[in-house]
Structure 1
């Protein structure tokens, strides 16, 4: 679940770049970054696919995420993850449990929108890639290559709709040959959302008999 959220936040936020990068790619990514940051909130419905031909693996699933600032609600594989700005609540109905973690945003290895910006500024080189016509949309790809030669990621291709400057898809190729693809089915912005959307109602889950785990 953490890896998928890592990729989804990449799609949502994109990033600003400033090192030895392709100027053309930098300009496009900056356009995406500035546009997305202007929204009050963002909702994404996505398809996730994982493929490894050598291992004969193909998996597909769907999910969605709503983000407002650093707060988010992430639904994936039947679980819900809520970050209210200070604590993370992972609700797992299958196990009838809730895991509460404090200050996830400051914990090493945990991915939040704000951390994604810093991570990609420092971790990747960027280059201009191919332009494809996908279902009548002009999708411009930017290739991200890890600076760390020991990275488990070989490359990431970020597909950007040339007209809307929104992310269309993300393709991550691992050093082991595994390809992960996230495709945006629906991208909505500035939707009316409940004030309690990012608030965890513990009484509700106490009444349901859920086991509450606090870390």
Structure 2
């Protein structure tokens, strides 16, 4: 009887491992579809809602934002500021303070920049398929990402993908400190006609407008 139970336990364990491996492969395959779709566009414009919540700390922040991406270059507007990356330097423009901060591109490979917003999931995570949700007639397949680094401050990330378009619809990041950050994509436009100077910073314009220029 003991041998039978041991054999049954091993069979169940092997089947569980097999199902988990298949689940992981399906999740990884879907993420590759998302990545290849994103990389196939000349440029992308995203309008999104950003929510930061930590009930224990009494924090609940909500804002709208947008970002335009072309390769590694980007320009985004959120929290009352504009951030521009021209391929060399990052410019953060804060109208309220009338100041511009100019910095070299971050050397931190783990820094989540707008350019990585749609591709961050490719490295450093374990994947598994999660729930399939119907959102206003759209099938949103969620994938659960768990950081490989056990010291990460992130507990897990739920990435919602439109099953038909293979575009990212929602990102829910759960921190180990109880903070949940949710980004929901309102509009996702591709291959738009962009101005040739969209990713060019006009320093003289801001100096003439009385902005204080900070160089780091």
TM tier, shorter chain?
0.7 to 0.9
Show the counterpart of 2:45: 43
TM-score normalised to the size of structure 2?
0.84
Show the counterpart of 1:174: 175
Show the counterpart of 1:212: 213
Matched length: 196
Show the counterpart of 2:93: 91
Greater Cα radius of gyration, structure 1 or 2: 2
Q: What's the CA shift string for 1:113-164, capped at 9, x where partnerless? A: 6667996444111111110111111100000001112211000000000111
Matches within 5 A, 1:3-82: 22-82=24-84
Show the counterpart of 1:101: 103
Higher mean C-alpha deviation, range 135-144 or range 51-60: 51-60
Contact 2:46–2:188 (8 Å) recurs in 1:
yes
Judged with a 3 Å threshold, the aligned counterparts in structure 2 of structure 1 residues 161 and 129 are, in CA distance, closer, same or farther, namely same
Please report how far the alpha carbon of residue 78 of structure 1 lies from its aligned counterpart in structure 2 after TM superposition. Answer: 1.2
Contact 1:128–1:141 (8 Å) recurs in 2:
yes
The whole-number CA distance in structure 2 between the counterparts of 1:146 and 1:173 is 11
Show the counterpart of 2:130: 129
Contact 1:61–1:77 (8 Å) recurs in 2:
yes
TM-score normalised to the size of structure 1?
0.85
Where does structure 1 lack aligned partners over 5 or more consecutive residues? 1-19
Contact 2:67–2:114 (8 Å) recurs in 1:
no
The whole-number CA distance in structure 2 between the counterparts of 1:62 and 1:209 is 27
Matched, 1:199 2:189: no
Judged with a 3 Å threshold, the aligned counterparts in structure 2 of structure 1 residues 210 and 48 are, in CA distance, closer, same or farther, namely same
Contact 2:76–2:114 (8 Å) recurs in 1:
no
Q: What's the CA shift string for 1:4-46, capped at 9, x where partnerless? A: xxxxxxxxxxxxxxxx981100110011100110000000000
